[in-house]
Structure 1
Amino acid sequence: MMNRENHRLADLSLLFVAVVWGSSYLATKIVLADVAVFTFLFLRFLLTSLVMVALTWRKLVKATKQTWLSGIIFGLFLSGIFISETWGIHFTSAANAGFLISLFVVFTPLIESAVFRTRLRAGIFGTVLLSVFGTFLLTMKGGYQFNTGDALILIAALLRAIQMSVTQKLTEGRVMDSGALTTIQLGVVAVIMGIFSLPSGRLPDSAVLSLPFWLLTAYLAFFCTLLAFYIQLIMIRRTSSTRVGLLTGTEPLFSALFSVWLGGERLSPQEWLGGLLIVAATYFGRHMEAKNRMGKTTAAAVKDV
């Protein structure tokens, strides 16, 4: 069972993930002005995979068949998430995308309950609904119309929730190296994006010669992909996927903050209220889950070789 100090470390780590993912929206928007979607995703995951291979190649050689199989499955899920989310943002407004992607916070306990055959706690469900309502206030700046992009974002949100529960299900109670697992997962995404990017051809000259392009791509690759997903993979094995969903559900709040500080946007009182509701929902969800966790075993018993 995790002690209070370990839970604090897990929470801070997951909040860090929410911060860097929140910053990724602005960075990605700038990068996509120069390159096609699949080309950008290929470069992002290629850079990440190369670094991970250099760091974990010895562990990859010793990785079990279960580790490889799980990594491939996780990579397929991650590919689907990024394809749906990136193209969804392309076809819909940022406000609609921000609201719909946050629905993974609601989907996560529902999927977790089905996967592990457990009763859904009314308190937890109430907090995730509060989080979604806060996200609604934060991101809805105008009229709402459901379109193809909205459907793709909704699919990405559902895949996020399924990925969290499947990750915990496939890794719980098994000895797996997190570094090897992450490398395999990211490598699968790089291969898939590389195949899809072939019709796009070579990089445009503006991207090749642009230092900001490569700096932002490196940031997205190393901080928003490599480090963030590695932390998530570690922490989801040491706490519940619902807890992970609640904490990373603050991502829209940080996205709005970066937009204000770096993008020059302004938030209305309604949008700030939405952000505060998200933080409140995360806090109360953490408190209620801590009370329900007592006397139960957790994924902290999983060994990480």
Structure 2
Amino acid sequence: MSAPSNLWIADITLLCVAFVWGSSYITAKTVLQNYEPFMFLFYRFTITVLLMLPFVWKHLLGASMETWITGAIFGVFLFAIFSFETWGIDYTSASNSAFIISLTLILTPIMEWIINKKFTGNLFFLAVGLSIIGTGLLTFKDTFSLNFGDILILVAAFLRATQMTFTKRLTDGKILDNSALTIIQLAVVAILAGIINISFEHSTLFIIPKSTEFWLLTIYLALFCTIFAFYAQMVFIRKTSPSRVGLLMGMEPVFGALFSVVVGGEYLSLLNWTGGICIVVATFLGRQLLDRNKRLKTSI
């Protein structure tokens, strides 16, 4: 198969990832209308682990202690991220969730600057300015204000940025099995979600949902938005250019907004759409900055 054909397959696959991730916000919000957030997280990640286990159990059995420890640490990070994100989706619109969580790519250079003292250049200020303007326009209803859900999603974005900043530091010099590392993280999320549900959500974990909609949507999130998306991204992100990846994955919040309007019946004014577009442009610039930093590190 020719190189251009491989490039197009990679591009289409990554666009599909952005598409299914975009659909995850309204899907999760639909489930959360009737079910507790941590019960939902428990089932989502338990199903994900059970679906993956037949393919990675040998990796898990042979994993080093370093892999288990690192996976557990990453799992706690991932649990915190999904907790704030899922809780936030329950309190704000799916469209706001999709756009605000994408600010991770702006917040990551900020965390790099604060933690690693690495300044990303003057273009960074343009990206930050656009993201602030975009967030203001996106959340404008009667006044410019972030609601409780928006703030929770913003915290999730900060946590994602923190995780991205510390990932290299936690994995440098370690020989880790990526398959085992992934499933350990997901299992930690499921276990912690179950514990929180039993402790604070009236033990709804023990009430098995009878709704067909719940199981179909949760399995969809586990199969397509977690397993397919992460696998496809891992395989195909290396087969295309960083700028194309930034453009394609930057479509996630746009798809999220479209799903929220078409499927969820949410309303976005022209001002809100303008704010969303500002955030997409800002996150594209943020990804370019991250890619440039990686190239500089490689060349040193």
* Pairing 1:156–2:156 present: yes
Alpha-carbon distance change, 269 to 145 in structure 1, aligned in 2, over 3 angstroms: closer
Unaligned runs of 5+ in 1: 299-305
Using the TM superposition, give the Cα deviation of residue 190 of structure 1 relative to its aligned residue in structure 2, in angstroms.
0.7
Asked if structure 2 preserves the Cα contact closer than 8 Å seen for 1:178 and 1:234, the reply is: no
Task: Please report the TM-score for the alignment, with normalisation by the length of structure 1.
Answer: 0.76
Using the TM superposition, give the Cα deviation of residue 39 of structure 1 relative to its aligned residue in structure 2, in angstroms.
1.0
Q: How does 1:214-229 map to 2 (within 5 A)?
A: 214-229=215-230
1:184 matched residue in structure 2: 184
Higher mean Cα deviation, 134-143 or 73-82?
134-143
Alpha-carbon distance change, 14 to 110 in structure 1, aligned in 2, over 3 angstroms: farther
Using the TM superposition, give the Cα deviation of residue 287 of structure 1 relative to its aligned residue in structure 2, in angstroms.
5.9
Using the TM superposition, give the Cα deviation of residue 57 of structure 1 relative to its aligned residue in structure 2, in angstroms.
0.7
1:270 matched residue in structure 2: 271
Find the aligned partners of 1:102 and 1:89 in 2 and give their Cα distance: 14
Asked if structure 2 preserves the Cα contact closer than 8 Å seen for 1:47 and 1:218, the reply is: yes
Using the TM superposition, give the Cα deviation of residue 228 of structure 1 relative to its aligned residue in structure 2, in angstroms.
3.1
Asked if structure 2 preserves the Cα contact closer than 8 Å seen for 1:109 and 1:125, the reply is: no
Find the aligned partners of 2:93 and 2:262 in 1 and give their Cα distance: 20
Alpha-carbon distance change, 105 to 68 in structure 1, aligned in 2, over 3 angstroms: same
Alpha-carbon distance change, 277 to 107 in structure 1, aligned in 2, over 3 angstroms: closer
* Pairing 1:57–2:57 present: yes
- Counterpart AA for 1:88: G
- Counterpart AA for 1:223: F
- Secondary structure at the aligned position of 2:298 is classed as coil
Alpha-carbon distance change, 6 to 157 in structure 1, aligned in 2, over 3 angstroms: farther
Alpha-carbon distance change, 129 to 73 in structure 1, aligned in 2, over 3 angstroms: farther
Alpha-carbon distance change, 169 to 9 in structure 1, aligned in 2, over 3 angstroms: farther
Asked if structure 2 preserves the Cα contact closer than 8 Å seen for 1:127 and 1:282, the reply is: yes
Asked if structure 1 preserves the Cα contact closer than 8 Å seen for 2:25 and 2:94, the reply is: no
- Counterpart AA for 1:164: M
Asked if structure 2 preserves the Cα contact closer than 8 Å seen for 1:42 and 1:190, the reply is: yes
Find the aligned partners of 2:196 and 2:8 in 1 and give their Cα distance: 40
Using the TM superposition, give the Cα deviation of residue 16 of structure 1 relative to its aligned residue in structure 2, in angstroms.
4.3
Alpha-carbon distance change, 151 to 268 in structure 1, aligned in 2, over 3 angstroms: closer
| Root mean square deviation, CA, Å | 4.0
Q: Aligned residues, how many?
A: 293
Asked if structure 1 preserves the Cα contact closer than 8 Å seen for 2:25 and 2:256, the reply is: yes
- Secondary structure at the aligned position of 1:297 is classed as helix
- Counterpart AA for 1:273: T
Of 201, 204, 215, the residue aligned with 1:201 is 204
1:302 matched residue in structure 2: none
Higher mean Cα deviation, 219-228 or 129-138?
129-138
Q: Deviations over 1:92-146 (max 9, x none)?
A: 5667655653443321111123444422222144235424533543453343445
Alpha-carbon distance change, 167 to 17 in structure 1, aligned in 2, over 3 angstroms: farther
Higher mean Cα deviation, 69-78 or 221-230?
221-230
- Counterpart AA for 2:204: G
Find the aligned partners of 1:168 and 1:211 in 2 and give their Cα distance: 41
Unaligned runs of 5+ in 2: none
Q: Deviations over 1:258-300 (max 9, x none)?
A: 12332234443333333443444455556666667666518xx
Find the aligned partners of 1:167 and 1:246 in 2 and give their Cα distance: 24
1:109 matched residue in structure 2: 109
Find the aligned partners of 2:275 and 2:259 in 1 and give their Cα distance: 16
1:301 matched residue in structure 2: none
Find the aligned partners of 2:291 and 2:157 in 1 and give their Cα distance: 25
Asked if structure 1 preserves the Cα contact closer than 8 Å seen for 2:136 and 2:145, the reply is: no
2:36 matched residue in structure 1: 36
Asked if structure 1 preserves the Cα contact closer than 8 Å seen for 2:134 and 2:277, the reply is: yes
Asked if structure 2 preserves the Cα contact closer than 8 Å seen for 1:131 and 1:277, the reply is: yes
Find the aligned partners of 2:263 and 2:96 in 1 and give their Cα distance: 21
2:259 matched residue in structure 1: 258
Find the aligned partners of 1:29 and 1:141 in 2 and give their Cα distance: 20
Q: Deviations over 1:215-271 (max 9, x none)?
A: 1110111222233345566789999x9x98887554332211112332234443333
Asked if structure 2 preserves the Cα contact closer than 8 Å seen for 1:96 and 1:144, the reply is: no
Find the aligned partners of 2:129 and 2:7 in 1 and give their Cα distance: 23
Q: How does 1:91-102 map to 2 (within 5 A)?
A: 91-92=91-92, 97=97, 100-102=100-102
